[in-house]
Amino acid sequence: MIIRKLLAVGSACGLTAALACGLVPATAHAGEPVPGATAKVELVLDVSGSMSAKDIDGQSRMSAAKQAFDDVLDSTPQDVDLGIRTLGANYPGNDRQTGCKDTKQLYPVGALNRDQAKSAVATLQPTGWTPIGPALLAAAKDIQGGDGTHRLVLITDGEDTCAANPCDVARQIAAQGVDLTIDTLGLVPDTHTRSQLSCIAEATGGTYTTVQHRQQLTTKVTELVKRSTDTAVTPTAVQGAGTCEAAPVLKRGLYTDRETFSQNRWYRVEVSPGQELRASATVSDDRSVNADYGVLLRGVTLHGREIVRDDESGTGRTDAVSAGIRYPKPEADDDTPAETVCLQVGNSFSAPASVKTTPGLPVELSIDLVHSPDQPSDVAFFGLGRGWWLLGLLAVTGAVAGLLTGWAARWRMNTGGTR
């Protein structure tokens, strides 16, 4: 679940401006995107020599990428300025210093001319090195400026072959305070590539996806480009605890964490009277895992009593599985304190012995607190909550309707028999 940005209204509204406070849109904080502003996206494509390998649906990785780019360009929204940068596309030699500078903007970030962009991509041939770090630094400059979201989508089939650690580069970009998300896609990656790309994405609140089929690449890149039009909160990194007592207290927002196979992580949320807690947890399988798995999200009291829970299972056909809960806290006197709800996020993922357990699986946790009278819900305990009385009423109504129908049928039969 994506939590929309909460626009801040100035606290110094005077009496004469009180009515206007609810009508005038708030100003976005520095570094945050302005809702409705044009988004900027740059696709960073690896064109190194290894992209000639033919292991994606019987064709080369480069051919699969070209076909995917054609589909992505056709579906790019009008309110997105899109550009394309390559790495390893021009220098075929063995000089590392030269090869590590081989990154070039193939199509400038701006209003998209689909025919020109497709023609530029069609000329690409697997050539040289894999300077991921230098390409990310250059791409970050390509999309700077503007009031919309900024997103880089890196598509590569290998680790950086240059001296720079691209994960450190991503952290450096994130430290600049610019609203920039880097998503990474690994084409048939090995363990080291997967780890490096996961680190790059995690540094900026992005996502990592393993790609083994052309259609999968098309679908994921299209999704990421369209996601740039959502002015969503950048996820905040958080580390859950092994017990509720030691768990961090979370407020409304979107959070990211990691947990190893079959691990449980705990978090705490303060729910005031009249509020409803809405939480969801998504665990992604960013590596090879066994087919059957599941995710558990529970809310319990500080004393261990379960309040609400949801668990969802997967069969290996998806790269993420989610669970969600709602818990309404009834209105009470002003002196009634907030209730501490302990959230447990668990998973039943498993993997072959050859698969590394670290870093843990990516977890996305969404927390929302709404005022119950404004947005009421009868969904709380195992999907029932306050709605038990409604189910009871329906049951009674059904029983009465059944009796009446039975009596009517018997009356018609008896009446028909006397004719």
Pairing of strands 275-284, 236-237: unpaired
- How many alpha carbons lie under 13 Å from residue 214 in its C-beta half-sphere? 18
CATH number of 235-371: 2.60.120.380
Residues 362, 206 contacting (CB under 8 angstroms)? no
Residues 156, 46 contacting (CB under 8 angstroms)? yes
Question: Is the model's pLDDT at 395 over the cut of 70?
Answer: no
| Structural domain spans, the chain | 39-227, 235-371
Choose which CATH entry (3.40.50.410, 3.40.50.720, 3.40.50.1220, 3.30.365.10) describes domain 39-227.
3.40.50.410
Nearest CA among 54, 60, 52, 45 for reference residue 153:
45
372 vs 376, higher pLDDT: 372
**Given pLDDT bands bounded at 50, 70 and 90, which one contains residue 246?**
very high
* Average pLDDT of the residues in 195-211: 87
CB atoms within 10 A of CB 172: 16
Question: Is the model's pLDDT at 257 over the cut of 90?
Answer: yes
- Pair of tokens at residue 110: 């701006």
| CA–CA gap between residue 142 and residue 109 (Å, rounded) | 7
CA dihedral 379, 381, 385, 390 (to 10 degrees): 90
Specify the pLDDT at position 10. 32
* Average pLDDT of the residues in 370-390: 44
* Average pLDDT of the residues in 117-126: 95
Residues 36, 16 contacting (CB under 8 angstroms)? no
- How many alpha carbons lie under 13 Å from residue 392 in its C-beta half-sphere? 5
Ordered strands of the 361-371 beta sheet: 236-237, 253-259, 361-371, 275-284, 320-328
- How many alpha carbons lie under 13 Å from residue 226 in its C-beta half-sphere? 10
Q: Give the Cα-Cα-Cα angle 139, 142, 148 (nearest 5 degrees).
A: 105
* Average pLDDT of the residues in 140-165: 89
Residue type, 194: R
Specify the pLDDT at position 22. 33
Bond preceding residue 359 cis, omega within 30 of 0: yes
| CA–CA gap between residue 390 and residue 377 (Å, rounded) | 12
Nearest CA among 268, 205, 259 for reference residue 235:
205
Nearest CA among 318, 32, 44 for reference residue 182:
44
Per-residue pLDDT tens digits for 288-324:
889 889 999 999 999 999 999 999 887 765 567 888 8
Question: Is the model's pLDDT at 162 over the cut of 80?
Answer: yes
* Average pLDDT of the residues in 57-75: 93
Nearest CA among 181, 166, 183 for reference residue 130:
166
Q: Do 39-227 and 235-371 have matching folds?
A: no
- Pair of tokens at residue 149: 């979201």
Tell me the backbone φ, ψ of residue 221, rounded to 5 degrees.
-65, -40
Question: Is the model's pLDDT at 165 over the cut of 90?
Answer: no
Tell me the backbone φ, ψ of residue 158, rounded to 5 degrees.
-160, 175
Radius of gyration of the chain from its Cα atoms, rounded to whole angstroms? 27
Question: Is the model's pLDDT at 286 over the cut of 90?
Answer: no
* Average pLDDT of the residues in 238-246: 94
* Average pLDDT of the residues in 102-126: 95
Dihedral class, residue 385 (left if φ above 0, else alpha if ψ from -120 to 50, else beta): left
| CA–CA gap between residue 198 and residue 154 (Å, rounded) | 11
Sign of CA dihedral 212, 123, 90, 112: negative
Q: Which of 26-30, 119-123, 319-323 has the lowest mean pLDDT?
A: 26-30
Specify the pLDDT at position 321. 84
Angle between helices 114-122 and 61-75 (to 10 degrees): 180
| CA–CA gap between residue 177 and residue 179 (Å, rounded) | 7
Specify the pLDDT at position 47. 95
